[in-house]
């Protein structure tokens, strides 16, 4: 049954980092807001530490058999049905299971085209806004969500105000990272986290269980939008969150959107009208939704007169190095106090900008030093996987015992730029459908060679830090480099001033439609040298504030 009787001021598609801030600001300003979320609405009680259910099944990400994406590693490669490219399906989106590492972009991230003069094969574009315009909204995001850290210790960090909460307590091994970094002339600093170090309103402080990444926080201490924003939005009485509602099409009439069609939890098709539609379903799924919403006016997808919807898809170029340390030796060096704390909390950004290295992409990104994830099944699979699945039998059993009892793995992750090119994009798969019969998103992915070259350079520098730690590691090794982090996705509706080279204007409004916005990572012309979630949150607040002003000026009917 289709109902055309409900009309909202704003319909927000997606309830994660891109959707929740907009919805919250608008509801607080008096707008009547409907948030439609494809996934379920988990309560804190649902967020257990069951590694199998939460991390290894479909709690957050659907099985490929149920809701596939298609990935091909190059336009001529065989396509493969996969779960890759889904960030999360639940109210709160990816912020529910994020680790909460908190970084801001640097000025170089917003000016990569100008600073490099262009990179052959990359479709670079500067951002149409400055870091100074985004900074107040980073501040707002930190204040509204609750972010713990200490400013002023990273000489490469853009100027910023103090964090709203003091830093979390690190494991004593953080001092070893500091010593190693200093010995190499580098500047390690405490990593900020979207995790509460103190009580924050009604939310309690972190209990240091160490299961931030891949899990939801049953304590409410991780600053997901589920914990920090959605309740505030609903408390206004003007924001309704409808879970298990899959938006299948955005309806439009001329140069205005009129509402959205969605499939509700009973499987029935519904329509709601809207004065404004904000799409924030993740860069891949937002592009897919626009492509599926074609009309005679927009035959290549809604808001796609530029032809760029789905193009310039970027991820983060990822690397990970591992240092295997002897737990007893570390204990003798550091003493017993704090040895069960789960967070290492050290980052290095000395190699963020690499002007004199001869690299085609002179931007390395961020080293995030952390412990190997505490999940025991994941650890066991890592050991077996690293052996090419040859490790088995008593040798496996003994290796497990050795890993869990004797070893402490300190690692670093590199988040590097993924250059936008014509070879990486989202379109609609010609064959594979989702369970509602709509074309699935097809991801065509190829790294620009410069990504891999720079990431390889960064890997070597990062391994030097682990190798410099005293007491010396049993082993220091690279685990992966030049890899693709599918859950960090951007670029498919890039913003800019030129309607022929961008989908959105500087306020993330579609050039083609005056009341359509896109506020997930789609807007980002470049991926940056840090994980993008804080930037998506900040920008969503920025755009939300702008939409509030448009309503106040009565520009939105």
Partner 1 sequence: MITRRQIITGLAASGAMAFWPRRRLAAQGWLASLPQESAPALAAAVDRILPGATAAGALSFIEYWVARPAFIHLKRDLMVATLVMNRLAGQRHGKPFAACAPADQDAILSSLRDRQTSAGRFDSRLVYERLVSLTLESFLGDPKYGGNRDQVGWRLAGVQHCWYAPKRVRRRTGLPY
Q: Of these, 78, 155, 389, 437, which contacts partner 1 (CB under 8 A)?
A: 389
At 373 the three-state DSSP class reads coil
Q: Contact, 46 vs 216, CB < 8 A?
A: yes
Binding residue for partner 1, selected from 113, 150, 339, 396, defined by CB under 8 A: 396
Of 387-395, 432-440, 460-468, 543-551: span binding partner 1 (CB under 8 A)? 387-395
452 contributes a contact to partner 1 by CB under 8 A: no
Residue 118 touching partner 1 (CB under 8 A)? no
Contact between 400 and partner 1 by CB under 8 A: the answer reads yes
Stretch that binds partner 1, among 51-59, 182-190, 310-318, 526-534 (CB under 8 A): 51-59
Which of residues 43 and 207 has its CB atom nearest to partner 1 in the complex? 207
**Total chain residues near partner 1 (CB under 8 A):** 33
- Per the CB < 8 A criterion, the answer to whether 92 and 413 are in contact is no
Which residues, 6+ apart, have CB-to-CB distance to 106 below 8 Å?
131, 156, 157, 158, 349, 352, 353, 528, 529, 530
Q: Which is nearer to partner 1, 297 or 328 (CB)?
A: 328
By CB under 8 A, residue 56 contacts partner 1: yes
What sign does the CA torsion over 47, 48, 49, 50 have?
A: negative
Closer residue to partner 1, CB minimum distance, 8 or 59: 59
Among residues 49 and 333, whose Cβ is nearest to partner 1?
49
Residue 70 in tokens: 């298609």
Which residue among 43, 207, 357, 500 contacts partner 1 (CB under 8 A)?
207
Indicate whether 432 belongs to the interface with partner 1 (CB under 8 A): no
Q: How far is the CB of 38 from partner 1 (least distance, A)?
A: 18
Give the SS3 label for residue 331.
helix
Beta strand 366-371 with 516-518: parallel, antiparallel or unpaired?
unpaired
> Which position has the token pair 């049993």?
474
CA distance 302 to 64: 27
Residue of 30, 43, 44, 52 interacting with partner 1 (CB under 8 A):
52
Distance CA 540, CA 262 (A): 23
435 binds partner 1 (CB under 8 A): no
Task: Tell me the three state secondary structure of residue 291.
Answer: helix
Q: Least CB distance from residue 435 to partner 1, whole Å?
A: 12
- Of 57-65, 80-88, 166-174, 414-422, which part binds partner 1 (CB under 8 A)? 57-65
Question: Under the criterion CB under 8 A, does residue 387 sit at the interface with partner 1?
Answer: no
Token pair 């509700």 is found at 264
Out of 3, 43, 44, 65, point to the residue binding partner 1 (CB under 8 A): 65
Select the residue interacting with partner 1 from 161, 328, 397, 477 (CB under 8 A): 397
Please say which residue, 256 or 435, places its beta carbon nearer to partner 1.
Answer: 435
CA–CA–CA angle 206, 211, 212 (5° rounding): 70
How many CB atoms within 10 Å of residue 411?
A: 19
* DSSP letter assigned to residue 464: H
User: With binding defined as CB under 8 A, does residue 48 bind partner 1?
Assistant: yes
Specify the 3-state DSSP secondary structure of 371: strand
Please, what is the minimum distance in Å from the beta carbon of residue 212 to partner 1?
12
Residue 71 or 543 having the CB closest to partner 1 = 71
Q: How far is the CB of 56 from partner 1 (least distance, A)?
A: 7
Question: C-alpha distances in angstroms, 50 versus 214, 224, 533?
Answer: 11, 19, 25
Is 390 near partner 1 (CB under 8 A)?
yes
Which phi and psi (to 5°) does residue 277 adopt? -120, 130
Using DSSP's 3-state secondary structure scheme, residue 332 falls into helix
Residues 338-377 that bind partner 1 (CB under 8 A): 376-377
Distances (CA, A) of 493 to 130, 302, 443: 19, 11, 15
Nearer to partner 1, 1 or 202 (CB): 202
All residues at 6 or more sequence positions from 472 whose CB lies less than 8 Å from its CB, including other chains? none
202 to each of 142, 231, 243, 290, 419, how far by Cα in Å?
16, 11, 24, 38, 42
Residue 209 binds to partner 1 (criterion: CB under 8 A): yes
Our finding on whether 386 is near partner 1 (CB under 8 A) is: no
Minimum CB distance to partner 1, residue 355 (Å): 44
User: Does residue 392 interact with partner 1 by CB under 8 A?
Assistant: yes
d(CA 48, CA 104): 30
Residue 44 contacts partner 1 per CB under 8 A: no
- Measured from the CB atom, the residue of 401 and 436 that comes closer to partner 1 is 401
Residues in touch with partner 1 (CB under 8 A): 48-53, 56-58, 63, 65-66, 207-209, 211, 376-377, 379-381, 384, 389-390, 392-394, 396-397, 400-401, 404-405
């Amino acid at each position: 049954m289709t109902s055309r009787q409900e009309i909202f001021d704003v319909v927000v598609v997606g309830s994660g980092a891109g959707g929740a801030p907009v919805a919250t600001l608008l509801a607080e300003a008096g707008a009547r807001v409907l948030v439609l979320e494809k996934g379920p609405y988990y309560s804190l009680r649902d967020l257990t530490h069951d590694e199998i259910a939460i991390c290894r099944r479909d709690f957050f990400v659907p099985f490929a058999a149920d809701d596939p994406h298609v990935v091909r590693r190059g336009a001529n490669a065989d396509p493969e049905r996969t779960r890759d490219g889904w960030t999360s399906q639940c109210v709160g989106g990816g912020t529910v299971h994020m680790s909460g590492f908190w970084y801001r972009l640097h000025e170089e991230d917003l000016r990569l085209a100008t600073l490099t003069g262009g990179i052959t094969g990359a479709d670079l574009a500067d951002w149409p806004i400055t870091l100074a315009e985004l900074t107040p909204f980073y501040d707002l995001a930190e204040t509204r969500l609750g972010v713990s850290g200490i400013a002023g210790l990273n000489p490469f960090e853009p100027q910023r105000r103090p964090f709203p909460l003091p830093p979390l307590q690190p494991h004593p091994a953080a001092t070893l990272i500091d010593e190693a970094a200093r010995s190499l002339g580098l500047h390690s600093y405490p990593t900020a986290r979207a995790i509460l170090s103190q009580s924050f309103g009604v939310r309690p402080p972190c209990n240091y269980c160490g299961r931030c990444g891949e899990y939801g926080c049953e304590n409410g201490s991780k600053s997901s939008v589920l914990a920090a924003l959605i309740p505030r939005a609903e408390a206004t009485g003007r924001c309704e969150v409808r879970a298990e509602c899959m938006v299948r099409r955005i309806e439009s009439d001329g140069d205005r959107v009129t509402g959205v069609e969605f499939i509700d939890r009973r499987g029935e098709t519904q329509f709601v009208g809207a004065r404004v539609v904000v799409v924030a379903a993740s860069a891949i799924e937002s592009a897919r939704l626009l492509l599926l919403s074609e009309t005679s006016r927009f035959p290549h997808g809604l808001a796609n007169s530029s032809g760029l919807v789905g193009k310039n898809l970027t991820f983060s170029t990822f690397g990970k190095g591992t240092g295997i340390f002897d737990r007893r030796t570390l204990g003798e060096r550091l003493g017993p106090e704090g040895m069960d704390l789960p967070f290492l909390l050290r980052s290095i950004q000395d190699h963020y900008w690499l002007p004199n290295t001869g690299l085609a992409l002179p931007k390395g990104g961020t080293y995030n030093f952390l412990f190997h994830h505490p999940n025991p099944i994941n650890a066991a699979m890592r050991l077996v996987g690293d052996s090419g699945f040859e490790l088995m039998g008593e040798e496996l059993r003994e290796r497990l015992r050795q890993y869990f009892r004797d070893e402490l793995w300190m690692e670093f992750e590199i988040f590097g730029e993924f250059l936008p090119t014509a070879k990486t994009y989202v379109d609609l798969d010609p064959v594979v459908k989702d369970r509602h019969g709509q074309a699935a998103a097809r991801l065509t992915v190829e790294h620009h060679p410069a990504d891999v070259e720079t990431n390889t350079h960064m890997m070597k520098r990062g391994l030097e830090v682990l190798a410099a730690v005293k007491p010396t590691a049993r082993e220091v090794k690279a685990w992966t480099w030049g890899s693709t982090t599918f859950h960090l996705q951007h670029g498919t509706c890039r913003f800019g001033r030129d309607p022929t080279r961008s989908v959105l204007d500087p306020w993330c409004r579609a050039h083609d439609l005056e009341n359509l916005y896109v506020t997930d990572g789609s807007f980002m012309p470049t991926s940056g040298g840090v994980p993008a979630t804080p930037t998506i949150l900040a920008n969503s607040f920025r755009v939300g504030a702008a939409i509030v002003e448009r309503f106040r000026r009565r520009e939105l009917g």
